[in-house]
DNA sequence: CCGCATTCAATTGCGAACAATTAAATGTGA
DNA sequence: TCACATTTAATTGTTCGCAATTGAATGCGG
């Protein structure tokens, strides 16, 4: 009978990388919360703003592809950003199916106020930049392998 | 003016480890979905079952500490597991404030049916066990450092 | 023993996340 | 041109996740 096999038991919570990732995501969320509260954003809203700060006037679909989110998540989220006067939602005239998301002046201005956020996160990570970059690349590679098997 | 600094821009989406973790968590969720559907569980419910398969008759608080979740999340989730006849919820007689969660026979039996899940995830990860263990340990260490700064 | 803080679960309200469906616009083939 | 499939958002319904509050049980100091 196994006695000290717990360190190898694949059915054990602490041996599962998925739980490590899951709980790390929540930990990030909790660290971000007070920083983003000051900006009036939730974390997913912050991600959308990051996308828009890189490229403005983007269809909902493109945002979804960048963030791996669908319209069921994005539509209400974008309506809240619109209600907060950070973005505008306009039907494309070329393709009436698309809704283009563009930044308002307030949305643009928020980028400056958000500049300190990544530094705060880096500090909370208590880790060198190079270590974080290496981890990030590994996690992204894992994510992409997982996403690859979704469509069989 | 910066031209090719995007690889260093800390405000760029793809440079943020938090987004890597966030999107990897969702990717795991999508891979788990079809596997857990067969067990009639969601991913957070599966995590609770993993805890209970390790130790039965646990107060809600202990489950919350293991999974970093609070009663606002766990109470309704546990009620759904109870409705599915996988767990029982009983007030502790020693301390009437506590609700003890115990497995039903069906709940116990589900552990066998769930045995194949970690292997499927490993296969989807397309990665050696030792690599995954190393990544897991790094991510857990990062998570614990993040959680450490929450309470200042 | 009593008053009071603490602990624990439950509740309420809001914002994701996603499956499934709907509806409108567009593209394509006969 | 017209039937039909595809694309794109929006909608509906269920489940998380958490902040804030509530209420009951417990523990502690005086």
Note whether residue B97 is domain-resident.
yes
Specify the pLDDT at position A4. Answer: 58
Give the pLDDT of residue A7. Answer: 77
Range of the domain at B96: 16-115
Q: Is residue B25 part of a domain?
A: yes
Judge: B43–A22 Cβ closer than 8 Å, yes or no. yes
Q: Locate the chain B residue with the closest alpha carbon to A117.
A: B11
How far from A53 is each of A110, A112, A116, CA to CA, in Å?
9, 10, 15
Q: Is A5 within the bounds of a domain?
A: no
Q: Is residue B2 part of a domain?
A: no
The spacing between the Cα labelled CA in A61 and the C1' in C30, in angstroms, equals: 32
At B42, which CATH number?
1.10.10.10
Q: What is the pLDDT of residues B36-49, one digit of tens each?
A: 999 999 999 999 99
* Contact residues, chain A, for B139 at CB < 8 Å: 17, 20-21, 24, 135, 139
The predicted model gives B105-123 an average pLDDT of 96
B58 in a structural domain: yes
Task: Please report whether residue B136 resides in a domain.
Answer: no
Structural domains counted in chain B: 1
* Nucleic strand D within 7 A of Cβ A73: no
- Nearest nucleotide over every DNA/RNA strand to the A81 CA, judged by C1': C15
* Mean pLDDT, chain A, integer: 94
The nucleotide lying nearest B25 (C-alpha to C1') is C17
* Residues 6 or more apart in contact with residue B140 via CB below 8 angstroms: A20, A23, A24
Which chain B residues in 20-79 lie under 8 Å from chain A, judged by CB atoms? 20-28, 30-32, 43, 47, 50-51, 53-54, 66-68
Query: Does some domain include residue A120?
Result: no
How far is residue A19's CA from residue A32's CA, in Å, rounded to a whole number?
20
- Predicted confidence (pLDDT) per residue in A55-81, tens digit: 999 999 999 999 999 999 999 999 999
For residue B79, name the pLDDT band (cuts at 50, 70, 90): very high
Residue B80 is assigned to a structural domain of this protein: yes
Instruction: List bases in chain C with any atom under 7 Å of a protein Cβ.
Output: 7-13, 15-20, 24-27
Burial label, A23 (beta-carbon count in 10 A; 0-12, 13-18, 19+): buried
The answer to whether strand C lies under 7 Å from the CB of residue B74 is: yes
Lowest-confidence segment of A10-14, B64-68, B97-101 by average pLDDT: A10-14
Summarised one tens digit per residue, pLDDT across range A85-129 is: 999 999 999 999 999 999 999 999 999 999 999 999 999 999 999
Q: Which residues contact B76 (CB under 8 A, 6 or more apart)?
A: none
What value does the CA radius of gyration of chain B take, rounded to a whole number of Å?
19
């Amino acid at each position: 009978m196994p006695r000290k096999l717990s360190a190898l038991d694949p059915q054990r919570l602490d041996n599962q990388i998925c739980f490590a990732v899951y709980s790390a995501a929540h930990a990030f969320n909790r660290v971000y919360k007070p920083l983003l509260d000051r900006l009036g954003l939730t974390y997913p809203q912050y991600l959308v703003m990051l996308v828009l700060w890189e490229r403005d006037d983007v269809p909902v679909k493109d945002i979804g592809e960048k963030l791996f989110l669908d319209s069921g998540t994005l539509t209400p989220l974008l309506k809240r950003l619109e209600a907060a006067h950070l973005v505008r939602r306009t039907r494309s005239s070329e393709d009436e199916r698309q809704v283009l998301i563009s930044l308002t002046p307030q949305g643009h201005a928020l980028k400056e106020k958000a500049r300190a956020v990544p530094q705060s996160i880096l500090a909370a990570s208590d880790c060198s930049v190079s270590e974080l970059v290496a981890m990030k690349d590994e996690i992204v590679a894992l994510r992409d392998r997982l996403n690859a098997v979704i469509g069989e």
